[in-house]
Amino acid sequence: MPIFLHTADWQIGRQYPAFEPDNAVPMAAARLEAVHRLAQLAATEGAQAVLVAGDVFDAQTVSDKTVRQLFQAMAGWAGPWVLLPGNHDAALAESVWSRAQRLGVVPPNVHLALKPEVLLLPEAGLALLPAPLTQRHTHNDLTTWFDTVDTPPGLLRVGLAHGSITGILAEDIDSANPIAPDRATRARLDYLALGDWHGARQIDARTWYSGTPEPDRFRNNEAGLALRVQIDGPGERPVVTPLSVGQLRWQQWEAGLHQAGDVALLVERLQAMSPADVLDITLQGELDLAAHQRLDAALAEAEARLRSLRVDRHGLRLRPTDADLAALHADGYVGEVVAELRDDAEAGSDVAREALVQLTALLAELAPETPAGGSHAAA
Amino acid sequence: MLLRELRVEQLRQFREPYVLGALSPGLNLLTGPNEAGKSTLVRAIRAAFFERHRSTTMQDLQPWGDSGAAPAIDLRFEHAGVPYVLSKRFVHRKRCDLSVGAQKLDGTDAEDHLARLLGFDFALKGASKPDHWGIPGLLWIEQGCAQELHASVAHAADHLRGALGGQTDELASSLGDAVLERVAARRAELLTPGTGKPAGAYRQAQADEAEWRAALAEIDGRLTTYQAQVDELAALRAEHQRDEREQPWLALRRRQEVAETALKDVASWQAELMRVEAQAQELSQRRTLLQDQLEANRRTEEAQERRVAQLVTRRARVSEVREQVEAARLRAQQADVALGAARAAHQAAQRAARRHELHQQHTEALRQSAEQQALLDQARDHAARLQALRAQTVPVVIPPADVKALSAALDGLRDLAVQESVLATRMEVRLQPGQRVYLNGEALEGEAVRSLLDDTEIDVPGVGTLRLRPGGRDLASLAATRREHETRLTDLCERWQLQQRSPGLLDEAQARNQAAVAHAAELAQAEQTLRLLAPQGVEALEGRLAAGRLRAQALATELSVLSPAAQIEQAGHADEPQADAVVLAEQRRQAEAAEMQALREQQETQLALQTAREALATAEAALHHDEAECQRLAAELADPQRQAAREQARRQLAEVVAQVDDLARRVASQRERIDAAQPEALQRDVTRFRQSADLALARHRERHEQLIRLESTLQAEGTQGLAEHRADLQARLTQVQRRLAEYQLRAEALTLLQQRLQVHRQALTARLQAPLQAHLQRYLRLLFPQARIELDEHLHPRLLARGQPGAEEHADVHALSFGAREQLGIISRLAYADLLREAGRPTLIILDDALVHTDPARLDAMKRVLLDAAERHQILLFSCHPELWQDLGVPERRIDRARLSAGAC
């Protein structure tokens, strides 16, 4: 009753340059953490093997330290790990794999499937047919050879490949490495473990994408899982169970803010977020001074609390009311300037909007005794 | 405000009470010379208002030297219909009383009331200073200060703003300036204030952005290189493995060996060819040798035939030449005879000519000898005469100086004798006969007279000796002179051997001199004559004569030897020696020519004979040689051994020719075979295949090395963690770009804000200043028609624009002339006064000697300005130039201390 874990797209060494350094570093560390968790899961689920369907590393030129860290993370489970090169870490003439071998960090229980040849794991009851990428991109179906090769009877025929199932994932795939959609049937496979697609996805009864164990983008596509595959014997139907592995939740919101209530709603949602959240908010609408200040406060608080918070305010306009301005003592010529900037800001000038924000902030500083937002909030 | 009356007492030059009363509401012209007290009155007004009566520093108000004086000032004025009386005393009995209508104030209360009313402050301590003076400081213009406006306006600023603010409160922003200040400060954090270039963190962010971007590009380049190298490695590996498998150099080596074998075969063929060719060469040489031998035989036979033919010719030639020799010998004998005859004729002609010549020479020699004999006789005579002259005794010539000295000495003696005869002691002796006395040893007898000049001893025998000593000094002196003359005379006579005692001594000397001269002349003449006759001496003449005679004798001898017959013949023809000589010379020439001709002919015949003999010898020798040669050849040709050898050579030649042809055919066929094998192409093939194999192997090895190098390069580069490094850089770049965008937006926003605030503030300022501007413009029109003035935000005139609108000239007020600034200073103050008056503030304008730097035209305009202002304000115009202001239309009040102090008040 062989049980194995199917995972892929670890992308170890991946950095997050678009994020603030204090957020990006833990996000990168979370990827290694996922490997630790997989090792734990393999033990607790009683797996006989862990199959990694490509893109173990994010790049060929990750540092030696990163390479060592990966193999150290895998040490938590002593069973057989099978690592397949993907498009990010193809088995090129010189590759991260040859480097790992040179460094001598690959333990005996870790099998590098660098060549398209049958790999037997009799203890696990598996005959593996790997289709490693030996170029960065290929336009041939590397799994074709599965059809014609024989494996010892009694062992499960399990294919291991990295690429896109032709005709199904054409739009969103990471690379152009094609895989025939009926490969599992044609090659008499018990299971075809695929990588490259970052969300878990079933193609047919015997063909699955496991997705990445740790999400790395905002697209909501069942990321952060590993697949527990149980096949009772050759020819038997696989039982596939998704297991949660990932730590971080990646979310993208769009919020239209037009009145104080909208802000209050957004603030509530923000308060519900946890330090495991990576959040991206796009704001639109227009707010008076008080609501604007409240929004600023809530966003600042959330930014400190969440793993990462990014806010696009481009569509948001500050529209101080006359009462706001009166409260700020924006009389005389300053009042004239405020009015003028407000008009320009409404006409779409980012500079005028920023100038208005600066000016109102200055006025608030200069007249601190006036509770600018208080009276308005009640209105 | 209307000042009615000013009274001062014990104040500087006003020791007695002085009242300036009945001041009118408008313009008051107060004049007086310097020191009259104008400035003191102005000072009094200032002190009355600005100085605390308690002040301890008011001693300057006291009259000079009067420390006990208590300066007092009393003022009466009205404001807003309320009468004010102010009475103040300083230094001693200090006091301040003020009545405002019915209200009475005193002390500090009174002073503070006035300060509020007029708009000034008191000094906290000590004397009042300009910064306390407020409105009066602006309107009370001190002497020479009208053009200085800034400080005065600043000290009155609050009051002026107050006057303006009453109208513009609603427009003024309570926070505007503070906001503007902070905006400028925040903008200065991001941009340089002047050029608006990024500064501080903004600039740092820009620099960082550029740095990270460059670093990222660099690492991207490295990654690209790395990937390209990985691909290259894969390609190299594939090629290397293929080579290892296929070993392409082995096939090349095999082809090389095949070509080498073929080449070896060709080489052996070539050796064979060379051997045959050598054989052919040898045979060919032999054939040539045989051919040469046969040819030599043939040539010998031909030569024999030629020589036999030649022998006949040579014999004919010998007999012919012999005949020629005989003929030549005959001609030579004839020529010898002819030559002998010609030679004899020539000699005879020569002798005849010689004889004639000798005869002539002999005759000439005889004639010359006769002439020389005569000359010699003459010379001898003269020589004898010369001899005689030289033998004569010649007196010695006395030099003229000595003749003169002689003459002088004689003259001197003669004179002395005369003097002595006069002076000398005359002694006359008359002795008895027989008696004798001795005068200095001289015996005197009978009668004698003596002149005594020297001491004289007279010895009278038997008696004794008388000593006479002639008296007188002169006598002694004369004696000395005489001795001198005599001595000189004696010397001269001795020198020249003259008879001293001779009476004609002098004549004798002169005669002797004349005789000497005559003798010398005669001698010179004789010498001259002899020299002419015999320049080289008489002996030379004698020699020449002897030589001439010898020659004549020799000629005669030669003649006699030549031919006595001819001599006779010659003598016969002596009358015509000239014609004879010509004929003889002609005969001689002809004989000579004939001889020469005969000689030439003789030589020619000799030469012809010689030539003929030589030709004979040559012809005979050739004949002999040919005869010998013919015999030798005949013998040679007849040799039987030689005949046999020739036959053998002919046979051998035929054989050799056949062999040579055979070899030539063999060589041709061998050549054809070698050419067909193409040995050069084979050689090139060998080289080509060898080099290709070497190259293939070298390429294989090189590729292997390249592989190793590339592997190590990639291994090294792989450990650099480029991907993570790149991501790190990308993160930094994204950060800094985000920050940069924020800075940029913020900088632009602040710049916009600053501009907008400034624009609105300026607009507001202009609105606020509008009333003041209107007042100013009113006066300005009177001074500069069509001019405009701009105020800065501190209410100072800033810019003066003159001329037509659109073509205005702008001038900064500070850059104007002193006069113009003074005029602008006054009209500005008048405008401030108007503004203050409208705000209900009291205004009093005091001008102390203003406008002295103003030209007449401007002054006229300023008078209009002042009169215009005087309709609204009281103006006190103090001046020491009353003539300038006579056309103001107001009465002039002269401040005359003496007169007024005496007058009643």
- The DSSP code for A75 is T
A49/A170 same-domain check:
yes
Give the pLDDT band of residue B214 (cuts 50, 70, 90): very high
Distance CA A91, CA A99 (A): 11
| Cβ distance of B175 and A102 shorter than 8 Å | no
| Cβ distance of B183 and A362 shorter than 8 Å | yes
Give the pLDDT band of residue A377 (cuts 50, 70, 90): very low
A287/A342 same-domain check:
no
Task: Report which of residues B154 and B551 the model is more confident about.
Answer: B551
Shortest CA distance from A99: residue in chain B: B715
Nearest-CB residue to B226 (from A61, A329, A354): A61
Interface test with B, best of A89, A136, A334, A340 (most B CBs within 10 A): A334
Buried b (16+ CB within 10 A) or exposed e, A40-57: ebbeeeebbbbbbbbbbb
pLDDT of amino acid A373? 42
Give the pLDDT band of residue B833 (cuts 50, 70, 90): confident
Q: Find the domain containing A230 and state its range.
A: 3-244
Q: Strands A178-179, A207-209: parallel, antiparallel or unpaired by DSSP?
A: unpaired
The strand pairing partners of B436, in sequence order, are B445
A60/A73 same-domain check:
yes
Give the pLDDT band of residue B217 (cuts 50, 70, 90): very high
Alpha carbon of A301: minimum distance to chain B alpha carbons (Å)? 20
Please report where in the chains the tokens 């030669």 appear, as a residue.
B558
pLDDT of amino acid B564? 53
Residue B578 has pLDDT above 60, yes or no: no
Last residue of some domain: A188, A209, A244?
Answer: A244
H or E, element range at B324 = helix B248-391
Q: Which long-range contacts (CB under 8 A, 24 or more apart) does B895-899 make?
A: B895/B20, B895/B30, B895/B31, B895/B32, B895/B36, B895/B37, B895/B38, B895/B41, B896/B32, B896/B36, B897/B13, B897/B14, B897/B18, B897/B36, B897/B37
Residue B477 has pLDDT above 90, yes or no: no
Q: Could you tell me if B130 and B151 are in contact, meaning their C-beta atoms sit under 8 angstroms apart?
A: yes
How far is CA B1 from its chain centroid?
87
| Phi and psi, residue B788, nearest 5° | -130, 150
Q: Could you tell me if B76 and B45 are in contact, meaning their C-beta atoms sit under 8 angstroms apart?
A: no
Distance CA B452, CA B469 (A): 8
A213/A270 same-domain check:
no
A14/A68 same-domain check:
yes
Distance CA B640, CA B644 (A): 6
Distance CA A202, CA A169 (A): 12
Q: Which long-range contacts (CB under 8 A, 24 or more apart) does A256-265 make?
A: A256/A284, A256/A285, A257/A283, A257/A284, A257/A285, A257/A286, A257/A287, A257/A291, A257/A295, A257/A316, A258/A285, A258/A286, A258/A287, A259/A291, A260/A290, A260/A291, A260/A294, A260/A377, A263/A287, A263/A291, A263/A294, A263/A295, A263/A298
Last residue of some domain: A183, A212, A244?
Answer: A244
Residue A85 has pLDDT above 90, yes or no: yes
| Cβ distance of A341 and B724 shorter than 8 Å | no
Non-local (6+) Cβ contacts of B899 within 8 A are none
Cβ–Cβ pairs < 8 A, chains A and B: 153
Distance CA B7, CA B45 (A): 10
A204/A229 same-domain check:
yes
Can you read off the two tokens belonging to residue B764? 């507001």
Nearest-CB residue to B760 (from A21, A337, A355): A337
Give the pLDDT band of residue A220 (cuts 50, 70, 90): low
Q: Could you tell me if B859 and B134 are in contact, meaning their C-beta atoms sit under 8 angstroms apart?
A: no
Q: Which of A296, A295, A276, A366 minimizes the C-alpha distance to A327?
A: A366
pLDDT, averaged across chain B: 83
Share of chain B above pLDDT 90, in %: 4
Nearest-CB residue to B174 (from A13, A60, A329): A329
- Cα dihedral angle (B817, B822, B827, B833), rounded to 10 degrees? 150
Report helix, strand or coil for B530.
helix
Can you read off the two tokens belonging to residue B629? 């040669």
pLDDT digits (tens, 9 = 90+) for B723-775: 888 888 888 888 888 888 888 988 888 898 888 888 888 887 777 778 888 88
Residue B471 has pLDDT above 80, yes or no: no
pLDDT digits (tens, 9 = 90+) for A105-116: 999 999 999 999
For CA atoms A322, A325, A329, A333, give the dihedral sign.
negative
Q: Strands B892-894, B72-79: parallel, antiparallel or unpaired by DSSP?
A: unpaired
Please report where in the chains the tokens 């909501």 appear, as a residue.
A220
Nearest-CB residue to B730 (from A17, A58, A354): A17
A174/A146 same-domain check:
yes
Nearest-CB residue to B182 (from A351, A355, A362): A362
Task: Report which of residues B475 and B874 the model is more confident about.
Answer: B874
pLDDT of amino acid A368? 57
Count the Cβ atoms, other than its own, within 10 Å of residue A119: 19
H or E, element range at A375 = helix A374-378
Residue A353 has pLDDT above 70, yes or no: yes
A305/A210 same-domain check:
no
B173 contacts on A by Cβ (under 8 Å): 331-335
Last residue of some domain: A294, A319, A344?
Answer: A319
Alpha carbon of B143: minimum distance to chain A alpha carbons (Å)? 41
The least confident of B21-35, B172-186, B634-648 is B172-186
Q: Could you tell me if B686 and B259 are in contact, meaning their C-beta atoms sit under 8 angstroms apart?
A: yes
ipTM: 0.74
Alpha carbon of B787: minimum distance to chain A alpha carbons (Å)? 29
H or E, element range at A119 = strand A119-121
| Cβ distance of B727 and A17 shorter than 8 Å | yes
Ramachandran category for residue A329: left, alpha or beta (phi over 0 → left; psi -120 to 50 → alpha) = left
Q: Average of pLDDT values for B139-156? A: 80
| Cβ distance of B728 and A102 shorter than 8 Å | no
Q: Could you tell me if B874 and B847 are in contact, meaning their C-beta atoms sit under 8 angstroms apart?
A: no
Q: Could you tell me if B416 and B483 are in contact, meaning their C-beta atoms sit under 8 angstroms apart?
A: no
- The DSSP code for B841 is -
| Cβ distance of A366 and B179 shorter than 8 Å | yes
Please give, one letter per residue, the 3-state secondary structure of B533-595.
HCCCCHHHHHHHHHHHHHHHHHHHHHHHHHCHHHHHHHHHCCCCHHHHHHHHHHHHHHHHHHH
Distance CA B268, CA B272 (A): 6
Shortest CA distance from B170: residue in chain A: A332
A240/A260 same-domain check:
no
Distance CA B847, CA B849 (A): 6
Residue B454 has pLDDT above 70, yes or no: yes
A329/A370 same-domain check:
yes
Q: What is the CATH number of the domain that holds A70?
A: 3.60.21.10
- Split into its structural domains, chain A has a count of 3
Share of chain A above pLDDT 70, in %: 93
A314 contacts on B by Cβ (under 8 Å): none
Residues A164, A170, A171, CA angle at the centre, nearest 5°? Answer: 125
For CA atoms A168, A172, A173, A176, give the dihedral sign.
positive
pLDDT of amino acid B230? 87
A193/A324 same-domain check:
no
Shortest CA distance from B220: residue in chain A: A61
pLDDT of amino acid B7? 92
A199/A166 same-domain check:
yes
Q: Terminal CA-to-CA distance of chain A, rounded, Å?
A: 69
| Cβ distance of B734 and A18 shorter than 8 Å | yes
Burial of B254 (0-12, 13-18, 19+ CB in 10 A): exposed
Task: Report which of residues B122 and A49 the model is more confident about.
Answer: A49
pLDDT digits (tens, 9 = 90+) for B411-438: 888 888 787 777 777 778 888 888 888 8
pLDDT of amino acid B575? 45
